[in-house]
Amino acid sequence: MGSDLNIVCLGGGTGLPNLLRGLKPYSNYITAIVTMADDGGSSGVIRSELKMPPPGDIRNCLLALAYTEPLMERLFQYRFSSGTLKGHSFGNLFIAAMTEMLGNFELAIKESSKILAVKGTVLPSTLEDVVLEAVYEDGDVVRGQSFITHSQKRISQVMLRPADAKPLDEALEAIEKADLIVLGPGSLYTSLIPNLLVKDITEAIVRSKAKKVYVVNVMTQPGETPDYKASDHVKAVIKHSHPNVMEYVIINTGEIPEEVLARYKAEGSTYVECDKEVIEAMGYKVVTESVVNTANVAHHHPEKLSQAIMKLVYENSN
């Protein structure tokens, strides 16, 4: 397989670009399928005012797969600090300008990929104007991705409106050709699951003969996954999609420095407990490894995570 390995990764936020950076050396054929439910920050303003899909997660994934000059990457990530452009990143404005100039968001992504020397493909999960809704355990409903994490209530379910949003044909083709499909890491209800709520995407993953891996988050997320164990993450994914969207589950067992844990705890975030036996009883194969970045944040380490994924792929090749 080697560099000819067809890899599809689904997610959004900061987790997906982190994964892409690690996987980039292993394949020339990586497709990132990115959630389009973002309605906050710079992306939300551009989406609302220019009536186009949110560019932020797309921008981050393009840069993760890019082989461009460091200055160009810094430019695309540069965020204005004052004036009417305050809060906007140059990359978001660039993609917005390309979309208006070319009249097509999908084409704007492709042309931006050429400019940034991207190795791989970045695709929106849908081009429809989708909105994410959450139903809490007490029955309350909130509409809009950026509002969902504001509450400390436990989420029961999230839904995409319209419920029948269609994916790009290119996304379905990538899943069909895939040797490896990776779900996560990233915000469970607002980055990963929205992709799976595009029903045709979930159905394509279920049909796929690829190896299917779900990467559980290292830490819980305030407003989304309070006190969630690893099995709670798995249950939420399959509740919103299908039991056959994953075959392997990767859980971090690496230690995180106490001072880092203390900082996260102060923000309402805790270490995700590895209840391996519960997940195995559900019929999944669990991989436990140290895949965490132990510097000063509790994120996945791109290289460690990618090595664990590739080891899984090759050790379990037929």
Q: Where are the alpha helices (DSSP H) in the chain?
A: 15-23, 41-50, 56-64, 70-77, 90-102, 105-115, 145-148, 169-177, 193-196, 199-207, 230-239, 258-266, 276-281, 302-315
Please check whether residue 183 is in contact with residue 10, taking contact to mean a CB–CB distance below 8 angstroms: yes
- Check: CB of residue 199 under 8 Å from CB of residue 171: no
- The topology (CATH level 3) of 2-36+125-315 is Rossmann fold (3.40.50)
| Residue 272: φ, ψ to 5° | -75, 120
* Global model pTM greater than 0.85: yes
Per-residue pLDDT of the chain (318 residues; tens, 9 = 90+): 457 899 999 999 899 999 999 999 999 999 999 999 999 999 999 999 999 999 999 999 999 999 988 999 999 999 999 999 999 999 999 999 999 999 999 999 999 999 999 999 999 999 999 999 999 999 999 999 999 988 888 999 999 999 999 999 999 999 999 999 999 999 999 999 999 999 999 999 999 999 999 999 999 999 899 999 999 999 999 999 999 999 999 999 999 999 999 999 999 999 999 999 999 999 999 999 999 997 788 999 999 999 999 999 888 665
Rounded Cα distance, 134 and 246, in Å: 23
Q: Where are the domains of the chain?
A: 2-36+125-315, 37-115
CA distance linking residue 51 with residue 44, whole number of Å: 10
